Structures are given as C-alpha cells and as structure tokens.
Amino acid sequence: MSYKLPANYQFVTGTSLDRATLVKFMQKTYQELFPEQNFSHLAITVEKYFSAQTPVWWVEEKVENAGAIKVGCLWVGNGIDQVNGDRHAHIFLLYVTPEHRRQGIGKSLMLLGEDWAKNRGDRQMSLQVFQSNQPAINLYSQLGFQTQSLWMVKSIS
C-alpha cells in the first residue's frame, strides 16, 4: 500500500449510517463549482446508489479534545466500459475540504480506491471531472488518468 496520510489523519471505512454525511460532502463539492445552485437532489443519488457494493472511505483528522472530524472522502462504485463491456471501478466522489487540501489526502484516497479496484479484479478506473476544476484534473493526470471521451451538454430550454 503506497498511500500514507499526514500525521493526525486516519482512514475510516464508511457504513450505511453515513448517508447524510455523504450527501453533505457531495453538496459541498458541487457548491464550490456552482455556488448559486441548489443541490438537495443529490440525496436521491445517494439513496439510489450507495450500498455495500459502492464503498465510501473517510479521512478524519484527530482533533485534541474534540475526537475526529471528517475532512475528506472517496465514494467508489461500478461503471461499464461502453467499448468493451467490462465492469470497472468508477469514482462517484472525491472530496477534501479546502483547508485540508494539498497535503496528499486526495491522492491517498485515490490510491486506496485503486487498490480496492485491483483487489476485486478491475482492470481500469473511471471518473468524471468538470473541465473548470483544474486542480482535480491535475491530480488525476498525475495519477495516470487520461481523457477517453468528452461529455457534451446542450441546453434546450
């Protein structure tokens, strides 16, 4: 395992009791990019897709006299390669709170997810990233991700 966290941080495996926290983390990541938008609908995504087959890992910071607070998460599920039909790991969410970024937490979470995918026999991982999220694009490129396709959207309203 090549992923290590800075001192005072620890990995915690999520449980089904983490639904509300997962929704909050999803809302935080989208609100950073789209601050005027309401993301209450993300609760439906979590309700529909969060299960024992789609694990979540948390990074907690140990805080003196306060226990531990969640500062990052990785939620992984299944994708299907539309070219060859193979199931593979798909990153639903990677999020690290702004004040804890650039310390290797996101990279460590991604490497943890990669090990999970390898251990279950996956040969690839996929994710979606907004074109405007350059820090995330930089991290994913550093970890070996390459653009395979572009998701294009047209407003018809």
Per residue in 28-76, pLDDT tens?
A: 999 999 999 999 999 999 999 999 999 999 999 998 888 899 999 999 9
Instruction: Establish if 1 belongs to a structural domain.
Output: no
Residue 150 lies in a domain: no
pLDDT at 1 over 70: no
Tokens representing 108 are 């460590």
What is the pTM assigned to this prediction? 0.91
Residue 154 covered by a domain: no
Domain-located, residue 103:
yes
CB neighbour list of residue 71: distance below 8 Å, 6 or more residues apart: 9, 59, 60, 61, 96, 97, 99, 100, 105
Number of domain units in the chain: 1
Domain that holds residue 52: 9-142
Tell me whether residue 3 is in a domain: no
CB 84 within 8 A of CB 107: no
The domain that contains 47 carries what CATH number? Answer: 3.40.630.30
Q: How far apart are CA 87 and CA 133, in angstroms?
A: 27
